Chain A
């Protein structure tokens, strides 16, 4: 599954979704018009409703008007419309009125909902009333969940999502929400925490990460926003009916309009259910196939299919299944791992997920249709996943701390690896986590120490510069922060390049817990630390930019991808490739060669050659990266391919260079899994 193809397909599907939605809105517009016309006809007595024979403006027997004296030769007609012209069934003015009202209501509601969801996955989780799982949690099951999510995030090289639990839900279910991996949130139900073992948990989380990686998540949030407009009509109809049923008592016989309201209410409710029908159809059309894909991806990420197969089987055998009872479940039903709302009559057609037995059979062909009995796992049955790390070593990879290792990676395979971690990466991540020094691991449990950790990472080697940097921390944030920074700098001392990116990613959940004011202070301190050290490397610069960008992800909308070809961004590519070449190669000839390797992949015109060192400043590179992020996935694939050739083409590739490539990939929103070094 090519990551970039997936992203392109997700974008195309958005067009498909909008088309279906437009069709639904038009249909509903006609429906509302029909309802209004029917209501008007009823109120004119064309279709007398039993017990409600009446006419406008009079309570007397039908056929009489107070001011009307029938001429002797005019036959008395039981139902005389007041207007001279007959009502008919086509009235352009009423049609326009109804249509615009419908459009207005749906449009407003959808816009409102989409705006509310703009803050990203965390907003969705908070709106559903989910409880956050703090980074430093000590509760055994939650810690296990955290470990699984962190492993997966490190393996796939995405920022660690915020983790939430739905405490009131006993069913087994989970979902991931957000616009981009940076503002993603993973929500699991309490039932998932309690009933799944570690392998099955990994299967479910892998499935969710697949959604995060291939753009499903963003689509889901869009669906939620758009379809809310359609669902709101049903809500209004029901509200109308409720109001009418309250008011019926005192009305007496006064209301011709009253009956119109009643009929209108009933019909609007019907239309609302038609809207519900449309909404579920749309969701089903767009999101069902993805579930099979996500199941397959989950098998690809972990080492076995037993995890996700086991989870699905447990859902089948569990009395609550995967039901989620919260009010908001219907809106978010497509988000979930398995069907969250039980569909009574039309379940086959409108389920947002494929049938359970079909999903199981696709990942585990030996399934015999028999679901296991699900019992509550004892709390001490929780094991903490040492198996991943051992499998990693058994597969012949070097454990951490093997000194400067040589990377032997074919540059052409880099773009294939993006967004496609395999079980080796997951095991590597597990090993990495296990070997992370305790002090560092523990520091990631709270915002205070996590920010001190980042400051410590940015401290210079030069003692004088270091003093200046620490003074900045002291004046800006106080003596306690300075002390913590020193403490963690001591713990960090001597760790190699390989740790830096994982540490930055792992620290994110704690950093997100800061208030906007605290985050601004953090960004400011990071910037100050970088400028204090004139020798800061591209690596550190890119990491800190990444961090600040990921932190702001919830508040700042992601840049829209507008640039469809390489042409407009060739200059930025030149800047980026030049900078990478100069970073990686100490001498001019080597830099030229590296640049040429990368430029050749982009078929860069010869007039755009390697830039001089002065032109390769950090600011220029930063600006170039920002502009390159506005390209479509297809173009980004080419850019990343060129960078990979530039960095990896020569014979000696150090871990540092490889990590630099990963950091650049991250800055382009392309999650590149860790490079694995074969044991020498």
Chain B
């Protein structure tokens, strides 16, 4: 007589366990995915930071008296390197992402002012090394923008999977905290998100 309730309870228990395991696996996979997506950004960020000292050195040859502008760039770069390291250790963490976006924004601003100053020095602009560096810098920024799309997509997918029912009940218990997007730090140029359509 006790067999039927026993079987029913066991089956329910098994199904419950299976559901929970499935949810956990999905959360782990999605979290891993955005963390790995961040790694792609991190590589390009490092490349960008490596280019900047060269840039400053080359510029110094021509505009040594614009010390303030050059200093600002170097300082902004150091701050950004620190923020990037923290972010790499904790991708998706809201505080880290915000700090990184802020530091990157400051660096972009400082670079922008440097380029504005350089406008008045055509020799500097025509310098081979400088042209190459600027080209690489632009390329790196484009890559960051592209990879950031992928990262943000992955973060959104994770957040959605975390917030839907029934995962939302378990996410806290398993320690899955919400992840934050990496905001755009570029100027209007980059914010013009390329539209993808082939209907034409």
Contacts and interface: CB of A to CB of B under 8 A. Distances in A.
Interface in A118-145: 123, 126-127, 129-132, 134-138
Contact of A514 (B6, B150, B192): B150
Interface in A445-497: 445-449, 475-478, 480-481, 483-484, 487
Given A40-B3, A134-B39, A101 B146 contact: no
B13 to A, nearest CB: 7
A101 B11 contact: yes
Interface string B133-148: 0010011001101110
Given A101-B10, A105-B14, A239-B17, A445 B43 contact: yes
Nearest to B192: A478
A510 to B, nearest CB: 8
Interface of B is mostly: helix
A518 B149 contact: yes
Nearest to B30: A126
A130 B29 CA distance: 10
B110 to A, nearest CB: 22
Contacts of B197: 476
Q: Which of A129, A132, A236, A481 has the most CB of B within 10 A?
A: A132
Nearest to A482: B194
A476 B147 contact: no
Contact of A129 (B32, B149, B194): B32
B198 A476 contact: yes
Contacts of B39: 131-132, 134
Contact of B142 (A108, A448, A513): A448
Contacts of B46: 138
B44 A446 contact: yes
A568 interface: no
A515 B198 contact: no
Q: Which of A109, A449, A476, A513 has the most CB of B within 10 A?
A: A513
Contacts of A261: 6
Given A101-B10, A127-B28, A131-B39, A235 B147 contact: no
Given A112-B22, A446-B143, A513-B147, A236 B2 contact: no
Given A447-B147, A521-B196, A513 B153 contact: no
Interface string A225-243: 0000000000110011000
Contacts of B14: 105, 108, 236
Contact of A134 (B1, B28, B43, B195): B43
Contact of B194 (A138, A260, A477): A477
A126 B36 contact: yes
Given A116-B22, A137-B43, A481 B32 contact: no
A109 B36 CA distance: 28
A377 interface: no
Contacts of B145: 448, 480
B40 interface: yes
Contacts of A109: 18
A285 to B, nearest CB: 27
Interface string B20-56: 0010010011001101110110111011000000000
Interface in B105-149: 135, 138-139, 142-143, 145-147, 149
Nearest to B136: A442
Interface residues of B, number: 47
A116 B25 contact: yes
Contacts, number: 128
B150 A260 contact: no
A524 B198 CA distance: 7
B7 interface: yes
Nearest to B9: A261
B164 interface: no
Contacts of A97: 3, 7
Nearest to A123: B29
A97 B36 CA distance: 46
A477 B138 CA distance: 16
Contacts of B47: 136, 138
Contact of A447 (B17, B32, B146, B154): B146
A484 B136 CA distance: 10
A528 interface: yes
A123 B33 CA distance: 9
Contacts of B13: 236, 239-240
A132 B150 contact: no
A108 B150 CA distance: 34
Contacts of B196: 476-477, 517-518, 521, 524
Interface in A32-53: 36, 40, 43
Nearest to B11: A101
Given A116-B22, A476-B198, A528-B198, A129 B28 contact: yes
B44 A513 contact: no
Contact of B200 (A137, A235, A475, A525): A475
Contacts of B198: 476, 524-525, 528
Given A138-B43, A447-B40, A448-B147, A131 B194 contact: no
Contacts of A105: 14
A515 B2 contact: no
B6 A108 contact: no
B31 to A, nearest CB: 9
Given A43-B2, A448-B142, A127 B25 contact: yes
A515 B6 contact: no
B11 A126 contact: no
Contacts of B44: 136, 446
Interface of A: 36, 40, 43, 56, 94, 97, 101, 104-105, 108-109, 112, 116, 123, 126-127, 129-132, 134-138, 235-236, 239-240, 256-257, 260-261, 264, 445-449, 475-478, 480-481, 483-484, 487, 513-515, 517-518, 521, 524-525, 528
Given A449-B139, A476-B198, A481-B194, 11 more contacts: A101-B11, A108-B15, A134-B43, A239-B17, A256-B2, A257-B6, A260-B2, A481-B142, A483-B138, A517-B196, A521-B196
19 contacts: A43-B2, A56-B1, A104-B11, A108-B18, A126-B28, A129-B28, A132-B39, A136-B47, A138-B43, A235-B17, A236-B14, A446-B40, A449-B139, A449-B143, A487-B135, A513-B37, A515-B150, A517-B153, A518-B149
Across the A-B interface, give the 5 residue pairs with the lowest CB-CB distance, nearest first. Answer: A478-B194, A448-B146, A132-B36, A446-B143, A515-B153
